Every structure is written in structure tokens, then in C-alpha cells.
Structure 1
Amino acid sequence: MLPTTFKDYYQILGVEPGAHPMEIKRAWRALVLQWHPDVAGLQEINTKKFQDIQEAYETLTDPLKKEKYLQQRWLQQVTQTRTFYTPNDADEVLQAMIKVEQLVFRADSYRLDTDFIEQYIRFILTPRSIELINEPKDGIVSKEITKLTLRCCNILPAKSRTAVLKTLSGLKQSESMNLIAAYKKENSLRWTLEKYKTAIILIIVALLCWLISSLA
């Protein structure tokens, strides 16, 4: 989830988004000299500014932190001018979901911020969006939106996946409902194993220990 006050690390360092690491490092060094807390007369102000500079540099030079930050920054740019997503028609919702699906499958699954993906999907699939998707003329669009959303669900942890599926439950087009039902049926065993994975592992370990001790 995004912090209440989102920090633009590129702006803090005074560099353009996509700046080369060496450019980021040069900007950081110059700012450290300018805003170090030991500079006389401005210690309280400089300490906060210096902390922001350090945080920005550490984030933009660490691949894992940077990728997560860029995902959050994208969502911030999308949502900063509006509290609610207000599409004009189902086609607009479809285009938004295509962008989410592209983001999911272009990114490294181990680095993907799944909280961000869940948040963005639910930002798009508002009650107004669901209402538009349910219009009789938009059956094909409804089907495509459902397929894209379910594909994204595959990378989500159980809690996030449940939240998205709950949102999808508002879809009333028959093809969408059939897709959701088939998806749940197809994945029910995998989800059960995920839910009880720790218990299953412990049982297997206990059985192996018992077997080894009985053979000794």
C-alpha cells in the first residue's frame, strides 16, 4: 500500500526518471555535501532533508527496492488526480486491465509487488466499472476482462486473490460467471495445498523421522 505522503525520489535527487546510475550517484554526492546535518545553522531542517536524500539514493540504486518503488510510483501517478476510477465504458476498463496484465507478465515474479497489483486491480474494478461491464452489449468485453483478471490472480497470494475474486463476484454476464467458476474449480486443490502447506510439510517430516527411527 502507498504511504500517505508519497516521496518522488527522482525529484529529491534532482534527476530525471530513468537516469543512469552514475548520474544518480553524482547527484547524491553533491546533495550530501550541501545538506549534511553538520552544516551550521540548519541542523533540524538538514537532518530531514539528508534522510530523504539517503533514502532516495538507497532505493534507486538497489534493484529490488527500485523495482518495487517504480510500481508504487506508477500507481501514484495514475491515482493522484482522482479518488475514484470513473471509466466511461467497459472498453476503457478493458484497456486498463490490459496494462495491468502486461505489467504482471513483464516483471520478474519474485520482485513483483503483489500488494500493488491487488490494489491496482481493485482500483480499476470499482462498482461503477462492474456496472458498465455487466451491460448486455458488453458480453465479449466482460469475458476478456475476466480472463485478464484471472490471469493476474495466478501470481497473487491467497489473501489478495480472495479479495480480487470477491470483486469479480459482482460480474453477472454468463460467460464471465462460467470462467470464474471454472477457475475456482481448476485451482481448488492447489489452493488447499497452499493453505495447509506448512502442516503437510510437518506431517511428512514427522513420518520420515518415524520411519528412520523404526529402521534404526
Structure 2
Amino acid sequence: MKDYYQILGVPPSATLADIKIAYRKLAHTCHPDKNPSDTYAAARFNLIKEAYDTLTRPELKAQYLQERWLSQSMGAPVEKTATTPPQILKAVLAAHQQLIHYDEYRVDKKGLYETLLALIAPSGIEILNQFNQQDINREVVKWMTHSLFLLYPQDQLQMLVQLKKVSAPPESKVLIANKEAALRRTIRFNRYKPFLILGLIILLCIIIAYSL
């Protein structure tokens, strides 16, 4: 879920006055009237206003804090604040650069799954589709697809379901479809792998028995 405190640049212990001061400073910089041709600034302003409205209304704040606590208690990561497609792509590329140095046999696959899933959270997909910058969306899909190699096949499939929601060029859809087909073949093979191994063991035993 979104970290409204981080969006406003204040700690969770911030008072109402602190929140109002932070909002006024950010709104002054990002307000659409001051950036009439900057669509990124408009998106940033909307996110700042969303955070401010939530943290300054008691009923909304109480609900948000409850959901935030529940999310953290379940180990779900708080979404990083990416408000533009380039920021999302930058986060995806940074994650990929880290992953290529991980040890496949020592990595926390479930924790990694949650981390990658946060990169293409619903809010991020909404931003990508809102601006609909096809070149950036294509790169996000490509590098996210390339970043799934350490995950369990079933978790990779779940990630692909999210990537399908991104408005991207046809070649991105083909990339996802090919990856999905390969994963399903892997899953089928893993399902029958124990029986294949058992069959080979039995065959070897028969061959050894007849050779004695």
C-alpha cells in the first residue's frame, strides 16, 4: 500500500500541523497552475493531495492506519512513491541490477516475490496506463519479465497476470505470452518429474538385474 507519510515527507509521528506545513510546501511546487504543461507534476500533485486528505481526516486516517498496520504485520512492503512512468522504469531497472547478483539457492523467493509485486502494484499500473508512454511501458514489461527468473514458476505466472494489465505494444504481449507458455511447460515437467525419476530407477534396476 502507499506510504502517505513518505509522500508528504513527514515521519509517522508527525502532528496535524506538521502535515499541513508539508502539504503547503509540496502543493506550492507541484500545483498544476504553476506547471500548466507538466503532466508529471499534475500526477504528483494528485498523489500529494490524496495523502493530505487521508491524513487530515480522522475517519480516513484511522482506516488508513489500520490497513497500514495490517499490511506491515503480514509482511507486505509499503509501495515506493513512484509518480511517473520514468520513475517506475528506474525502480524496475534498479531491481533487475540487484537480482542478477543474487544467489539462486539462498534468496528468499517469497520475500522477493512481494518486493517485485510492489513494483507493479495497481497504483503503478494506473500511472503507466494513464500516461500511456508506449516506449516506457514496453521497457517496464521487458525488464520485469527478465527479473522473474529467481521466483517459483507459479509466482512468476502471477506476476505475468499483473504485467498483462499494462498498456504496452504488441511485442510486449508476445513476450508475456511466450514467457507464460514456457512457465507452464516447466510446471508440467516438474509435476511429472518424480514419476520420470522413479521410472528411470526401476529401469536401471531391471537392467542391472538382467546383467547379473
Structure 2 unmatched ranges of 5 or more? 1-71
Q: Does 1:117 align with 2:112?
A: yes
Q: Residue 154 of structure 2 aligns to a residue in which SS? A: helix
Q: Does 1:189 align with 2:185?
A: yes
| Match of residue 137 from structure 2 | 142
Cα displacement (A) at 1:136: 6.4
Q: Residue 154 of structure 1 aligns to a residue in which SS? A: coil
| Match of residue 208 from structure 2 | 212
Matched-pair contact (CA < 8 Å) for 1:104–1:112? no
With structure 1 as the length reference, what TM-score do the two structures score?
Answer: 0.55
Match of 1:127 among 122, 127, 130: 122
Give, in whole Å, the separation in 2 of the partners of 1:175 and 1:141: 13
Give, in whole Å, the separation in 1 of the partners of 2:156 and 2:188: 13
Matched-pair contact (CA < 8 Å) for 1:86–1:128? no
Give, in whole Å, the separation in 1 of the partners of 2:107 and 2:182: 24
Give, in whole Å, the separation in 2 of the partners of 1:146 and 1:127: 14
Match of 1:202 among 175, 198, 205: 198
Match of 2:87 among 78, 88, 92: 92
Cα displacement (A) at 1:88: 1.0
Cα displacement (A) at 1:181: 0.8
Q: Which amino acid aligns with 1:206?
A: I
Q: Which amino acid aligns with 2:148?
A: C
| Match of residue 101 from structure 2 | 106
Q: Which amino acid aligns with 2:200?
A: I
- How many residues align? The count is 138
Q: Deviations over 1:49-69 (max 9, x none)?
A: xxxxxxxxxxxxxxxxxxxxx
Structure 1 unmatched ranges of 5 or more? 1-75
| Match of residue 161 from structure 2 | 166
Q: Which amino acid aligns with 1:177?
A: K
| Match of residue 16 from structure 2 | none
Cα displacement (A) at 1:85: 4.3
Q: Deviations over 1:113-157 (max 9, x none)?
A: 222221111112111211222346411111111121111212211
Superposition map of 1:73-88 within 5 A: 83-88=78-83
Give, in whole Å, the separation in 1 of the partners of 2:192 and 2:151: 17
Q: Deviations over 1:170-209 (max 9, x none)?
A: 2232332121012223454334323332222122212222
Q: Output the aligned Cα RMSD.
A: 2.7
Q: Residue 196 of structure 1 aligns to a residue in which SS? A: helix
User: Which segment is superposed worse, 165-174 or 139-148?
Assistant: 165-174
Cα displacement (A) at 1:103: 1.3
Give, in whole Å, the separation in 2 of the partners of 1:156 and 1:125: 15
**Shift in alpha-carbon separation, 1:200–1:135, aligned structure 2, 3 A:** farther
Give, in whole Å, the separation in 1 of the partners of 2:207 and 2:154: 36
Give, in whole Å, the separation in 1 of the partners of 2:138 and 2:209: 56
Q: Does 1:152 align with 2:116?
A: no
Matched-pair contact (CA < 8 Å) for 2:157–2:183? no
**Shift in alpha-carbon separation, 1:138–1:196, aligned structure 2, 3 A:** farther
Matched-pair contact (CA < 8 Å) for 1:171–1:177? no
Give, in whole Å, the separation in 2 of the partners of 1:91 and 1:130: 13
**Percent of pairs with identical residues:** 22
